[in-house]
């Protein structure tokens, strides 16, 4: 399900971004991802928001699988935080930027839960029988850097980010950090799906051997 979440979100975000930009260019990275859900200005806002709903639901189901596959407390806490990330993605699809006040609260929840999730991932990596692998750790570090930058730029009074400079928009860090966090989370989900398949197959082999001996 985490692979499905990654595929769905990539399709929705990519198609909405391409429709908004009109062509593939570096300037696409200067578009804030949340503006792609604006029903008034984004051509494929419906596709973008529906993809958030579907991707968030798939991530929630993936975290249920993690919760039941790994029995230790830290992995289950990771699954619960991943579930909160999934729920916040769903809520961002339900309340896009047109519902500005609610969207700001929901997107802040997404930011916080993503950072906490990846902090737990770092701890989980160093325990025996980790839910993580090296590739997931790399994307976790990428997400923590991006999330940390967004926290520094966040206006706590508005729960939003400052506008880019009209004189030097090419140096705007907000959309770049947003895209970096988004891609880190998507690629983390891809790696999780393959790692989970290996873990589930290993558990099945143990069960089959036990049944044969029984």
Question: 198: part of which helix (H) or strand (E)?
Answer: helix 173-213
Q: What is the widest separation between alpha-carbon atoms in the chain?
A: 74
Residues 43-78 pLDDT 10s: 888 988 888 888 888 888 888 888 888 888 888 999
Q: Which of 22-26, 114-118, 131-135 has the highest mean predicted lDDT (pLDDT)? A: 114-118
Is residue 208 assigned to a domain?
A: no
Please say whether the beta carbons of 124 and 75 come within 8 A. Answer: yes
Residue 103 has pLDDT above 90, yes or no: yes
Helix axis angle, 134-153 relative to 173-213, nearest 10°? 150
CA distance 110 to 119: 14
Does a structural domain hold residue 214?
Answer: no
Instruction: Kindly indicate the confidence band of residue 198, based on its pLDDT and cuts at 50, 70 and 90.
Output: confident
- Report residue 107 as tokens: 């997107």
Calculate Rg over the CA atoms of the chain: 18
* Residue 71 domain-assigned (yes or no): yes
Give the range of the structural domain holding residue 72, as residue numbers without chain letter.
Answer: 2-202
Name residues whose C-beta falls within 8 Å of residue 177's C-beta, 6 or more positions apart in sequence: 146, 147, 149, 150, 153
Residue 138 domain-assigned (yes or no): yes
pLDDT band at 212 (very low <50, low <70, confident <90, very high): low
Contact 186, 139 (CB under 8 A): no
- Among 194, 203, 204, 193, which Cα is nearest to 63's? 193
Work out the pLDDT band at 94, boundaries 50, 70, 90.
very high
For tokens 């992995």, name the residue: 75
SS3 71: coil
Confidence check: pLDDT of 168 > 60: no
Under the banding of pLDDT at 50, 70 and 90, the label for residue 87 is: very high
Domain count, the chain: 1
Q: What are phi and psi of 102, to 5 degrees?
A: -70, -40
Establish if 91 belongs to a structural domain. yes
Residue 190 falls inside a structural domain: yes
- For 212, list phi and psi in degrees, rounded to 5: -65, -40
CB 59 within 8 A of CB 113: no
pTM: predicted TM-score of the whole model, two decimal places: 0.88
Note whether residue 212 is domain-resident. Answer: no
- Whether 209 maps to a domain, the answer reads no
What are 203-211's contacts with CB under 8 Å, separation 24+? 203/69
23-32, 58-67, 150-159: segment of lowest average pLDDT: 23-32
The per-residue DSSP string of 27-91 comes to: GGGGS-GGGGG-TTT-TTHHHHHHHHHHHHHHHHHHHHHHHHH--SHHHHHHHHHHHHHHHHHHH
How large is the average pLDDT for residues 96-102? 93
Residue 147 binned pLDDT confidence (cut-offs 50, 70, 90) = very high
**Residues 77, 8 contacting (CB under 8 angstroms):** no
């Amino acid at each position: 399900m985490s692979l499905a979440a990654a595929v769905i979100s990539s399709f929705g975000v990519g198609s909405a971004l391409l429709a908004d930009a009109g062509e593939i260019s570096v300037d696409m990275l200067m578009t804030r991802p949340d503006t792609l859900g604006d029903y008034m200005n984004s051509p494929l806002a419906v596709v973008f928001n529906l993809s958030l709903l579907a991707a968030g639901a798939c991530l929630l189901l993936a975290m249920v699988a993690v919760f039941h596959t790994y029995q230790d407390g830290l992995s289950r806490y990771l699954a619960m935080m991943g579930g909160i990330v999934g729920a916040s993605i769903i809520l961002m699809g339900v309340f896009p930027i047109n519902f500005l006040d609610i969207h700001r609260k929901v997107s802040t929840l997404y930011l916080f839960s993503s950072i906490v999730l990846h902090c737990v991932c770092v701890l989980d990596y160093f325990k025996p029988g980790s839910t993580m692998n090296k590739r997931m750790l790399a994307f976790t570090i990428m997400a923590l850097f991006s999330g940390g930058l967004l926290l520094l730029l966040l206006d706590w009074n508005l729960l939003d980010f400052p506008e880019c400079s009209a004189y030097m928009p090419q140096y705007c860090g907000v959309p770049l950090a947003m895209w970096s966090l988004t891609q880190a989370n998507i690629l983390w989900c891809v790696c999780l799906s393959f790692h989970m398949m290996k873990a589930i197959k290993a558990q099945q082999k143990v069960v089959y051997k036990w049944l044969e001996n029984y």
